[in-house]
Amino acid sequence: MADFSRYLPLSQRPPVDESGVSNDWRALTAERLEGLVARATSPSSSDAELLGRLADRLSATRLERLARRVGLSEAPSADPGAEAGAGGSPLPRLAALAAARRRGEGPNGVAELVEVVRTEAHCHSLGPVPALDPMVAGSIALYALTRAPLSVRAAVAGRALAPVDAPWRLGHGTELRTDTAAILDFLLDGGPVPPEVE
């Protein structure tokens, strides 16, 4: 009878302290943006372009984000004076966005953090990407999987992505045991299906 409570609805289960649970990702997004700006003292021209695109995406209005999501717009329109006023560098815009997220302004979902992590992975001139907390990486992977192209989802149909270096798994079926970094690369950028690791 002691195990019976495990099968009851959530409202009937023993209470658990959930005071630390939040769906507001702005503080972590700000932290990653601040780190990105600090490392981008002299980015290559291609990395500067990637940073500019990130600043454009994070600066987009809600309407611009919606238009992009439904395919009516390929990219949000940037404030034409912002780049010019910053001497062409996106870094002041990214720093301002980080400060705004610290103040609790802007979208609070995980989508912006996903964009920052994706950009970090592509900016090769900025040095190594700081490690993500395993559970944060899992949240990013889950978000990316639910929005991945059909080709990516089909490639792992009937498989469960199970990182060897984190306590989570995505999907059902035979486990594909690999590194978290390989899973994120696959889900965020449509790279090759991650190889199995021991």
> Which residue matches tokens 């949240």?
139
Place 12 in a pLDDT band, splitting at 50, 70 and 90.
Answer: low
Residue 162 pairs in a beta bridge with: 177
| Mean pLDDT for all residues in the chain | 83
Domain boundaries, the chain: 26-111, 134-189
pLDDT computed for residue 97 by the predictor: 97
pTM: 0.79
**Alpha-carbon distance values, 178 to 42, 89, 128, 137 (Å):** 34, 37, 20, 14
The structure tokens listed for 155 are: 């490639």
pLDDT in tens, 76-114: 444 433 443 445 789 999 999 999 999 999 999 999 999
9: left (phi over 0), alpha (psi -120 to 50) or beta: beta
| Closest-CA residue to 181 (of 114, 123, 131, 107) | 131
Segment 62-84, tens digit of pLDDT = 777 667 667 665 544 444 334 43
- Whether the predicted pLDDT of 18 surpasses 80: no
Contact 98, 34 (CB under 8 A): yes
